[in-house]
Amino acid sequence: MLGLVGLGLAGCGTRARSQPMTEPARPPGDGLADLARAHGISFGTAVQGELLAQDQVYAAAVAAEAQLLVPEWEAKWEALQPREGEFDFGPLGVVAGFAQAQRKQLRGHALVWHNAMPDWLAPALAEGPARARAVLAAHIEGVLGATQPLIRDWDVVNEVLANPPGSRFTDQTPARGIFRDTPWLRALGPDYIELALRLARERDRTLRLTINDYGLEGDTPWAEQKRQNMLALVRALLAARCPLDAVGLQAHLQVDEPFRPEPLAGFIQTLHGMGLAVLITELDCREGANLPPGQEARDGIVAAYVQQVVGTALAAGCRTVLTWGLSDRDSWLNRDPDVARRDGQQHRGHPLDAEFRRKAMWQALARSFASA
Ligand code: G3I
């Protein structure tokens, strides 16, 4: 298997898993990553390999604004192991090649998730726990073996918690206790989470292992319940001496969701007290049902909400912030029918507009970094 090492990426080095990878020295610019770095913060964004390869404006914006990249799709099971036993590192190699050429860091997303599963996977998991364990172990072995020099930080498990009753999210998936009912849970019970983390640690002892989820930021009863559920899960894992280094807050924000700093700050500080890092992993911001007149007013509302949330997280000790894309043009917010606007308008929830011009959210992030 010609993994990413075949791209000559070996030797990217390893480092203590609790610390972000040291960034290569580079001439200071005025991008968000430069502004963040000046305050000890790592900033980055999700990227699409095809756009990196085909769209120079897109690639230039990523090069100028971001230091830490996360593949939006190319490191998911569907992309990496489309058929059982057949690994395809081609799409990830495009992102990796860009990261190497531009001297960027790369984080992995996601080793275990209930979406982006290739067609063969759910039936395999349904064959029973022994098969499920073998499939999981083979994937983690194959992926970490090929990406070890390149990716030092993975979302090992993604969105394992159910959305509590009353949640604002459309995917009211059935729950089993605090856990989302997924093919993984049905095959292995909640232990799949610990199993994935242990397999990842055994394969790569210096990898930073992250649990990533959404709906953890707001000041609502269901966000508070989901935060308590995350804390219960983390406490149980740590009590079982399960390897875990960080919790990722996806931060897919919505301006209509109430926010108060204290609940989020307390949550982050509690996780820090357990010895865990906290990252913002997928920041973007959906606009409200009723848009104010004028683009400037819309952008101002998004910027103010983002600055409140990111400023709170940074003040509580978060030191890694990634947006889920830089520009409104390529955002899942305007592709995914579950979140796209019904009024035909495009969400403006990213630092750059559809023409890759910096807008109020870009300034809000810059201000948040400067006051961290
Ligand atoms: O399937 C094609 C594949 O054949 C093709 O080679 C590839 C190259 O472009 O594209 C694939 O298409 C789509 C892919 O995005 C790349 O754009 C997939 O059909 C589509 O399902 C996939 O959607 C992604 C989704 O996760 C599912 O993986 C979205 O872009 C991405 O924004 C979204 O991101 C998730 C996070 O992983 C987890 N948190 C929520 C977030 C938003 O849903």
Give pLDDT, residue 25: 54
Question: What is the tens place of the pLDDT at every residue in 134-180?
Answer: 999 999 999 999 999 899 999 999 999 999 987 766 556 677 889 99
Q: Give the residue, by CA position, lying nearest to ligand 1 atom 29.
A: 332
Band (pLDDT 50/70/90 cuts) for residue 7 is very low
- Is 282 near ligand 1, meaning CB less than 6 Å away? yes
Residue 215 has pLDDT above 60, yes or no: yes
As a whole number of angstroms, the distance between CA 186 and CA 176 comes to 10
Residue 233 Cα to ligand 1 middle (Å): 27
Q: Is 116 near ligand 1, meaning CB less than 6 Å away?
A: yes
Q: Mean pLDDT check: name the lowest of 16-20, 63-67, 126-130.
A: 16-20
> Which among 172, 163, 167, 260 is positioned nearest to 218, based on CA atoms?
260
- Of 168-182, 286-300, 314-328, least confident by mean pLDDT is 168-182
Q: How confident is the model at residue 283 (pLDDT cuts 50, 70, 90)?
A: very high
Q: How confident is the model at residue 23 (pLDDT cuts 50, 70, 90)?
A: low
* pLDDT at residue 12 tops 70: no
At 3, the pLDDT band (50, 70, 90 cuts) reads very low
Is 72 touching ligand 1 by the criterion CB < 6 Å?
Answer: yes
In whole angstroms, give the CA distance from residue 113 to residue 159.
Answer: 7
pTM over 0.85: yes
Q: How far apart are the CA of 38 and the centre of ligand 1, in A? A: 32
Average pLDDT over residues 302-316: 98
Cβ atoms of 84 and 120 closer than 8 Å:
yes
Going by pLDDT thresholds of 50, 70 and 90, the confidence category of residue 15 is: very low
- Selected residue with higher pLDDT from 64 and 17: 64
Tokens 């109430």 belong to residue: 258
pLDDT tens digits, 39-59: 999 999 999 999 999 999 999
Residues in a beta bridge with 109: 155
Q: How far is the CA of 35 from the centre of ligand 1 (A)?
A: 29
Which residue, judged by its Cα, is nearest atom 12 of ligand 1? 73
Confidence check: pLDDT of 312 > 50: yes
CA distance 351 to 326: 6
For residue 207, is pLDDT > 90?
yes
What spacing in Å lies between the alpha carbon of 64 and ligand 1's midpoint?
Answer: 24
Cβ–ligand 1 contact at 50 (below 6 Å): yes
Ligand 1 centroid–CA 336 distance in Å is 10
d(CA 93, CA 218): 36
**Given this model, what pLDDT does residue 28 score?**
64
* Residue labelled with tokens 């952008």: 299
Q: Which residue has the least CA distance to atom 38 on ligand 1?
A: 158
**What distance in Å separates the CA atoms of residue 151 and residue 106, rounded to the nearest whole number?**
5
Q: Is pLDDT of 347 > 70? A: yes
pLDDT at 13: 37
* Ligand 1, atom 37, residue with closest C-alpha: 72
Ranges 24-33, 130-139, 249-258, 345-354: which has the least confidence: 24-33
Q: Is 159 exposed, middle or buried (0-12, 13-18, 19+ CB in 10 A)?
A: buried
210: which residues sit within 8 A by CB, 6+ positions away?
153, 154, 155, 156, 245, 246, 247, 248, 279, 281
CATH topology of domain 4-371: TIM Barrel (3.20.20)
Mean pLDDT of the chain: 92
Which of 47, 48, 73 best tests ligand 1's pocket when mutated (most atoms within 8 Å of CB)? 73
Expressed in angstroms and rounded, the spacing between residue 79 Cα and the centre of ligand 1 is: 9
> Residue 115: CB within 6 Å of ligand 1?
yes
Domain boundaries, the chain: 4-371
Nearest CA to ligand 1 atom 23: 73
